[in-house]
Amino acid sequence: MAASLRLWRLKPSRILRCSVASGFSSGATAGSGQQPQLEKLTSTRQQDGIRHVILNNPKKRNALSLSMLKCLRNDILHDIESQALRVIIISAEGPAFSAGHDLKELSSEQDTKHHIEVFETCAEVMTLLQKLPVPVIAKVNGLATAAGCQLVASCDIAVASEKSRFATPGVNIGLFCSTPAVAVGRALSRKVALEMLFTGEPISAHDALLHGLLSRVVPEDKLEEETMKIAHKICETSRSVVALGKATFYKQMALDLDAAYRMTSQVMVDNLTLKDGQEGIEAFIQKRKPTWSHSVNTACK
């Protein structure tokens, strides 16, 4: 039981290593400036269990530079184990969600060591999103290309406006989108993903929805409302149950069918031992709303 209930827990060493160098605020301002070497390229706010992390470098089309990636990592990891945090929404200022990596960082002006750090940090952020104990929603209103498209594909849920477009155009500048292909190739069908990767041509929001990159597409003036509707619905559930379910979902996807059923069957048994597992069933039987504890502790026998 203990093993499956710990599926979603982040290692403390990871949180310490990714300390909030960029600062974390309840508004859109930067942190205290104690470490000015890391420019604050995101803004954050949190209310009613929902944390908004906004890519905030529209002049550079919210490029996922090394600094931007570190800011993003720090913002999503801040106080991640708090029961007050239930959902993270990633959005962006300006007409582009993200144009992907900052190509100036990938030029010959930077050495191979720097290039390695960029891609390793990017991979860390993308995989981290699926390891978090809370759902992560991408709210997209504009163009998402290359690593920006990768970011959308890496989130648990993605809502986009009708004007949004998605592309992996690296092939056109001689840098194949191999790392974006990891997330895009797992979200879309193989042939659609490969057409995007081989041609670099963008797809519309509706095609992205059709092929599995997005959860839903809405008019631009409904984007905030529809995204918040999903977030508020998640906030009505038990954090501990959602955390266990999210971790289990991603783990079983990597298993064969028989192993997946063996693992998830045991997790459901373990889920029943959680306080919120029993509270939910009792509330249903008694025809009342459940009172969630959000605790990972087991129910008393």
Burial class (CB in 10 A: 0-12, 13-18, 19+), 265: exposed
For residue 44, the surrounding DSSP H or E stretch is: strand 42-47
Predicted confidence band of residue 16 (pLDDT cuts 50, 70, 90): very low
Q: Which residues pair with 87 in a beta bridge?
A: 50
| Region 61-87 average pLDDT | 96
Which tens digits make up the pLDDT trace of 136-194? 999 999 999 999 999 999 999 999 999 999 999 999 999 999 999 999 999 999 999 99
* Domain residue ranges in the chain: 42-236, 239-286
Which tens digits make up the pLDDT trace of 227-277? 999 999 999 999 999 999 999 999 999 999 999 999 999 999 999 999 999
Q: Which residues pair with 54 in a beta bridge?
A: 43, 91
Give the single-character DSSP code of 187. H
Which CATH topology does 42-236 take? 2-enoyl-CoA Hydratase; Chain A, domain 1 (3.90.226)
pLDDT at 23 over 50: no
How do strand 42-47 and strand 50-55 relate by DSSP bridges? antiparallel
In CATH, what number does 239-286 get? 1.10.12.10
